[in-house]
Chain A
Amino acid sequence: MTPEAHQMIVHIKDLIRKPAVTIDENTPLVSSGLIDSMSLVDLLLKLEDLTHKRIPAGKVQPKDMDTVAKMFATAERVGKPRK
């Protein structure tokens, strides 16, 4: 796991406040109800921070953010370098 993915997992655990839940890169978050879709705004900002990319919100669907692995794949696919 990359350090960035690890940081994202720490951030998500902080967000959902359920210490008993284990989260890895492939844990479904939105579809499983662990993360409500309102939190996506926050996760998108965090993802931009961790990847140093600008990720246009218009190109991101909730399903693209369902797992940590998908988030980073989405950032790779639609993210743009910050000028």
Chain B
Amino acid sequence: MLPYANLIEALEAAPADRPFITVWIDEDDHETVTFGEFRSLARAQAATLAREDVAEGDPVVLIMPQGVPAMTTFVGAMMLGAAPAFLAYPNFKVEPSKYRSGLAGVTANLSAKAVVIDENFPDEMMPCVSLGPETKLLRAGQNKGNVRKSHEGAHFAQIRPDTLAFIQHSAGTTGLQKGVALTHASVIRQLGHLATALKIDSAHDRLYSWLPLYHDMGLIAAFILPMVCHVPIVMQLPLNWVMQPESMLQVVSECKCTLAWMPNFAFQFVPRRTPQSRWADYDLSSLRLLINCSEPVRASSMSEFRRAFRVKEGVLQSSYAMAENVFAVTESDIERGPVTIWADGQQFRGVHRIFEVAPETPGAVSFTSSGRLLPNQLAKIISDSGERLEDACVGEIAIKSDCLFEGYYNRPDLTTQVLVDGWYRSGDLGFLLNDELYVVGRKKDLLIIGGENIYPQDVEEIVSAHPAIHDGRVIAMGVYNPSLGTEDVVIVAEVEKEELLSDAAQLKQEIRSRVVGGLGIAVRTILLKPPKWIVKSTAGKPARSATRGKLLREHPEWNSEA
């Protein structure tokens, strides 16, 4: 376990001359700050915030582009005992109207003592930042010279274990994000178990990340964990990675990174956006662990990545994590890796139970585990009525741990919906088998068609595989059909190129037969849309509920839900 009482004490213990954060733009354009430099910069930021009367317990909202100034401001706020929160910074990948409404909601809920906004933040978006009567608005310069001020006069707080460390936002589209406030003790407990499970070696590990810091995986795995365990980070800006997924391979090769986390979709996205002729140019042999986390894990995505870049056995791992639990609930055994099993598809969909079968069995479906519970975690699978289900039964995953949150920030109404007798109801569906947890989807996304559970990801994977459909830009959802008394499947899919829409009838027929062939269900409606129609989340993935809303506005006749 970690020998620190709080996160700042952990940072103070880091060797001053060890590199901490390298922001990688290109091989001849990257900048590194050491742990010692980071500490000085953070103290200077603390002094600036202290002059604005930020003190213990105050929420501080940061709306800054990812980088060292944002990270040192975050830690500077923690040095004062305040609770910082990163919010997404606008970029061209996020729809401005969605960003505005999300920003307004989140800032209003936090009612921060101070809001630190980058000097280049667009003026026209400023009215969307809700400022209370007590809130101070600070404009942050990106110029490092301005930051290197004396930190004399700052009053550093005595941080107690139960002092709030920071507020992180649960995954989801911006407008629906909920603030999760976490104490120093909770975060330290989580990181202690995680570092042990991953055998973190501060002298030899080097972490690679393109993950955004306003998401728990980026904040905890790719910033707070390395800060506390004194591990150097090589960081790309999320947008630069999205523009050029291949660049990740260059960074890992050149910087000899050993550790990284990314969501399942990236395991496909990187090889598919890298010309095959260049796959062999990269050397990922330095990678010790590449962890698939924050989405249901798919064996096919992992093997696509492994084959493309000749990744060694035992490198690809999996984890199940959530902001409400600081981060990880499970982690695959790093000696053995995640477990993949095959199960009878009909039993899975019909009676929601796993009967293992041989992989070649017709209709078999595969599942890849998210690993084993960390020692401080408990998990149970519960039915709709809240009863505990036995192993191999599919139900909602509920968890309990010594690093679980105590509630959503300023939202007791939302808290009581999910915290029941000390158990957090995750809203994720999954099952336990031989001490491994398998996550199969989100409860609210589940389609129930004639009594069978249909997982939208399964429909989406089949539709995505069609060459005319833009990979990953498919959403399957259930729309209630009052005359049948059950849900119908509606698929929205973006075509690769707009001209493919002229063949829509043929295309729809092909998609229908693929879905019937794969899952045995008939699709009521297929809507083919031009590229970029589907609403995306801040992480750049299709946002299910926002897309559903957009669709229902186009088709008000589907609004007659039971």
Contact residues of A with B, CB < 8 Å? 17, 36-38, 40-41, 44, 56-60, 62, 80, 83
> Measured between alpha carbons, how far is A62 from B92 in the docked complex, in Å?
9
**Secondary structure dominating the interface of B:** mixed
Q: Which residues of A are found within 8 Å of B24, using beta-carbon distances?
A: 58
Q: Give 6 A-B pairs besides A17-B499, A56-B29 with Cβ atoms closer than 8 angstroms.
A: A36-B532, A38-B92, A41-B243, A56-B240, A58-B236, A80-B26
Does B239 have its Cβ within 8 Å of any Cβ on chain A? yes
Find out whether the CB atom of B29 lies under 8 angstroms from the CB atom of A59: yes
* Structural contact, B237 and A58, CB atoms closer than 8 A: yes
Q: What's the Cα separation between A65 and B186 when bound, in Å?
A: 46
Q: In whole Å, how far is A33's beta carbon from the nearest beta carbon of chain B? A: 13
Contacts of B243 in A (CB 8 A): 40-41, 44, 57, 60
Given A37-B92, A38-B93, A40-B92: A58 and B240 interface contact (C-beta under 8 Å): yes
Known pairs A40-B92, A41-B243, A44-B244; A17 contacts B498 (CB<8 A): yes
Given contacts A56-B26, A58-B29, A59-B25, contact A83 B239 (CB under 8 A): no
- Shortest C-beta distance, A47 to chain B (Å), equals 12
Say what secondary structure dominates the interface of chain A: helix
Q: Assess whether B53 is interfacial by the CB under 8 Å rule.
A: no
Partner of B242, one of A17, A41, A60, A80: A41
Give every chain B residue within 8 A of A38 (Cβ-Cβ). Answer: 92-93, 532
Q: Which 6 A-B pairs have the closest CB atoms?
A: A57-B243, A37-B92, A58-B25, A56-B26, A58-B240, A57-B244
A57–B92 touching, CB < 8 Å: no
A45 to chain B, nearest CB (A): 8
Q: B162 on the interface (CB 8 Å rule)?
A: no
> CA–CA, A38 to B530, complex, Å?
14
- Proximity bits, B230-242, A CB within 8 Å = 1, else 0: 0000001101101
B281 at the interface (CB under 8 A from A): yes
Does any Cβ of A come within 8 Å of B34's Cβ?
no
Chain B residues near A17: list those with CB within 8 A.
498-499
Give the residues in chain A near B26, CB-CB below 8 Å: 56, 58-59, 80
Question: Which residues of B (80-97) have their CB < 8 Å from a CB of A?
Answer: 92-93
Is B247 an interface position by the 8 A CB rule? yes
Tally of A-B Cβ pairs under 8 angstroms: 38
Q: Which of A17, A40, A56 has the most CB of B within 10 A?
A: A56
CB < 8 Å: which of B93, B239, B499 contacts A57? B239
Give the complex CA separation of A44 and B92 in angstroms: 15
Specify which chain B residues have a CB less than 8 angstroms from the CB of A40 in the assembled complex: 92, 243
**Cα-based distance from A2 to B24 in the complex (angstroms):** 33
Q: Which residues of B contact A41 (CB under 8 A)?
A: 242-243
| A36: B residues at CB distance < 8 A | 532
Q: Is the CB of B93 within 8 A of A56?
A: no
| A80, B29: Cα distance in complex, Å | 13
Are A57 and B498 neighbours in the complex by a CB distance under 8 Å? no
CA distance A65 to B80 in the complex (A): 43
CB pairs A–B below 8 angstroms (23 shown): A17-B498, A38-B93, A38-B532, A40-B92, A40-B243, A41-B242, A44-B243, A44-B244, A56-B25, A56-B26, A56-B244, A56-B247, A57-B240, A57-B247, A58-B26, A58-B29, A58-B236, A58-B240, A59-B25, A59-B26, A60-B243, A80-B26, A83-B281
Q: Which residues of B (431-470) have their CB < 8 Å from a CB of A?
A: none
CB distance from A77 to the nearest CB of B (A): 12
| Complex: A57 Cα to B242 Cα, angstroms | 9
Complex Cα spacing A62 to B303, Å:
35
Q: In whole angstroms, what is the CA distance A57 to B93 when docked?
A: 14
Could you say which residues of chain B place their CB within 8 Å of the CB of A62? 92
Min distance, Cβ B97 to any Cβ of chain A, angstroms: 14
CB distance from B117 to the nearest CB of A (A): 20
- Find the A residue at minimum CB distance from B250: A54
CA distance A80 to B250 in the complex (A): 13
CB distance from A18 to the nearest CB of B (A): 11
Chain A neighbourhood of B239, CB < 8 A:
57
Interface centre among A56, A58, A62, A83 (most CB of B within 10 A): A58
| A51→B237 CA distance, assembly (Å) | 25
> Within residues 368 to 389 of chain B, which ones have a CB less than 8 A from any CB in chain A?
none
Enumerate chain A residues within 8 angstroms of B240, measured Cβ to Cβ. Answer: 56-58
Q: Could you tell me the distance between the alpha carbons of A64 and B212 in the complex, rounded to whole angstroms?
A: 24
B-chain residues with CB within 8 Å of residue A56 when the two chains form the complex: 25-26, 29, 240, 244, 247
CB distance from A83 to the nearest CB of B (A): 7
Residues of A within 8 Å of B242, CB to CB, are: 41
User: Which residues in window 203-242 of B have CB below 8 A to A?
Assistant: 236-237, 239-240, 242
Q: How far is the CA of A70 from the CA of B46 in the complex (A)?
A: 42
CA distance A44 to B243 in the complex (A): 8
Candidate in B236, B237, B243 with the most chain A CB atoms within 10 angstroms: B243
Q: For residues 1 through 56 of chain B, which have their beta carbon under 8 Å from a beta carbon of chain A?
A: 24-26, 29
Scan B245-271; emit 1 where CB is below 8 A from any A CB, else 0. Answer: 001000000000000000000000000
Q: Given the complex, which residues of A lie within 8 Å of B237, measured CB to CB? A: 58
Contact digits for B93-124, partner A, Cβ 8 Å, 1 yes 0 no: 10000000000000000000000000000000
Q: CA–CA, A44 to B532, complex, Å?
A: 17
Q: Say how far B24's CB is from chain A's closest CB, in angstroms.
A: 8
Q: Which A residues lie within 8 Å of B25 (CB)?
A: 56, 58-59
